[in-house]
Structure 1
Amino acid sequence: MKLFCLCLLLYSAVCSSQTVTFVAEELPTFHYFNQNNQPEGALVDVIHAIAQRTDLTIRIELMPFARAYHQTQIQPETLMFSLLRTPGREQQFKWLGQTYQTTAFLVGLKTNTEKLDSLDHAKKRTVGTIRGYYSETFLKQQGFTEEHNLVLSVNFDQMWHLLFKERIDYVLTNNIALKRELASANLPPEAVEQKLAIQDFPHDLYIAAHADIDPKVAEQIINALALIKQNGEYQRILTRWGLAYPTFTVAH
């Protein structure tokens, strides 16, 4: 009888555990498929650390960005775990906590010796980015136009080859995937350098959830992320992956 009761309790505990799915695109060193085709990376480790401090059943899936973004918009049990927090996305999601902070730059060839002192200065040249990314919106808000000084590419390979062929002068990007993108395009990372830091560009990567996420699930994730930042585990994860410590704002 005692054994039956114990089994019943265990069964009830398993059944009561909610399953949530964390999604992202491939982006080494943050999240990518390893040799065994399993998700791996610094922020994957962060999500595992969060999972250990909740009673949630957590799955991690990597997929194209557009699919991950769409699933998070329509499925309350799906969360993106490194979404750039931008003004246009602010009301579309519930933001559960900052997972990393990066900086956007105008990047150019080292052979380009022009000294940029502002984004307005760059308007005299041609800047490239990816069509449909927030960087397109940002540059257009700053006064760049496709008719004069903005070139939009369909993918990173095309964009970087335009830079190396000197069809564009600068690329707006961040420091997350620069080397990976250049290597994928068979271009030498050592041939480019950061020319201008863009201070006004959003730089916070967040765990983003559907607006109708279960409040108890959201609270567990918020609290677990805060805990691993407070007890030093988050910093230890970043150190293992050779990443710098970001400065965090208060999650809400």
Structure 2
Amino acid sequence: MRILALAFCFFISGVQAAQYHLVTENFPPLNMTNNGSEYARNQRVTGIATDIVRTLFDTMDLEYRVTLYPDWDRAFNQALDDENVGVYSTFRTSEREERFRWVGPLFDEEWIILAPADSDVSLESIHDLKKYRVGSYEADAISDYLKEKGVPLVTTRGDVLNAMNMRLGKIDLWATSSLSGPFIAERYNMDVKRLLTFNTSQLWLAMNKNANPELIKALNAELGSLKKNGQLETILSQYINE
């Protein structure tokens, strides 16, 4: 038992001595900046997912820094290539499963179709989307999913641009998540309505595949505690008005 205790102490000392780099993209309200910029570091980075991972690492007394990049590919590839780097918030897909070590899920979301509040469009299923101009975020799994279903899309490099395209009448419908779409619409004083919910998903923190498995186990255990004691719901309530 003493040997196991000493081994655990050495493990804790090792992970606490390391500095972790948590990287993300601008995707409000999950990950965003507090000054509207496309690049930010540390306390300039905020959002639901940022607050969750920050609370998680703070609770475990781990040293870390946070960077928000304007380019998702840069964040994703850095977590792929560099040890002690994690990218959030990302979908845990079969293609990505063996490329990372996973912490989460941080939260669940629904994939939805939004329309202007005065729209007369009616949808029974995603197959009906083929009749309309549907905007989506090109780097998102939602876009990949709809393309696989044969839905033609008008893609942009950010969900805010989809909101602007809808306002300008360049798209009829907006494929987005239940967390980001309504938040962005409210921020830009847009009156929208949900026409369809077509999938559900979970978003995760993906750590570099060389991360210590015991670290991942400890992070997941602590995340479970944060969920049980209500801290995650408190974070969500600061951004989402039910």
| Structure 1 residues 152 and 226: CA distance shift in structure 2, 3 A | same
Distance 1:45 1:183, change over 3 A: closer
Q: CA deviation at 1:63?
A: 1.8
Residues 15 and 62 in structure 2, CA contact (< 8 A), matched pair in contact too: no
Are the structure 2 counterparts of residues 97 and 243 from structure 1 closer, same or farther at C-alpha, using a change threshold of 3 Å? farther
My pick for the range that moved more, 228-237 or 202-211, is 228-237
Aligned residues: 223
- Structure 2 counterpart of 1:174: 177
Relative distance call for 1:220 and 1:243 in structure 2 (3 A) is farther
Question: For the residues of structure 2 that align with 1:136 and 1:27, how far apart are their CA atoms?
Answer: 15
5+ residue gaps, structure 2 = 1-12, 36-41
- Is residue 2:57 matched to residue 1:51? yes
Classify the secondary structure of the residue corresponding to 2:155. strand
1:1-252 matched pairs, under 5 angstroms: 17-34=17-34, 38-64=44-70, 65-144=72-151, 149-156=152-159, 158-178=161-181, 181-182=184-185, 188-190=189-191, 192-199=192-199, 202-242=200-240
User: CA-atom RMSD, angstroms?
Assistant: 2.9
SS of 2:99's partner is: coil
Shift of 1:135: 2.6
Aligned AA (1:79):
G
Query: What is the alpha-carbon distance in structure 2 between the residues aligned to residue 34 and residue 157 of structure 1?
Result: 16
In 2, are the aligned partners of 1:46 and 1:237 still within 8 Å (CA)?
yes
Q: Is the 8 A contact 2:23 2:69 kept in 1?
A: yes
Shift of 1:215: 1.7
Deviations 1:137-167 (A, max 9, x none): 21121022xxxx4323344455344433444
Q: What's the CA shift for 1:242?
A: 4.2
More displaced 10-residue stretch of structure 1: 36-45 or 50-59: 36-45
Q: Which is richer in strand?
A: 2
CA offsets per residue over residues 189-224 of structure 1, 9 Å max, x none?
Answer: 11x22111112xx52111111222122322221222
Take 1:81 and 1:107, find their aligned partners in 2: how far apart are those partners? Answer: 25
Compared CA separation, residues 72 and 140, structure 1 to 2 (3 A): same
Decide whether aligned partners of structure 1 residues 163 and 88 sit closer, same or farther in structure 2, where only a CA change above 3 A counts: farther
- Measure, in 1, the Cα distance between the counterparts of 2:233 and 2:225: 12
Q: Distance in 1 between matches of 2:157 and 2:16?
A: 45
Unaligned runs of 5+ in 1: 1-12, 245-252
TM-score where L is the length of structure 2: 0.77
SS of residue paired to 2:237: helix
TM-fit CA distance, 1:76: 2.3
Distance in 1, matches of 2:126 and 2:23, equals 33
1:10 counterpart residue number: none
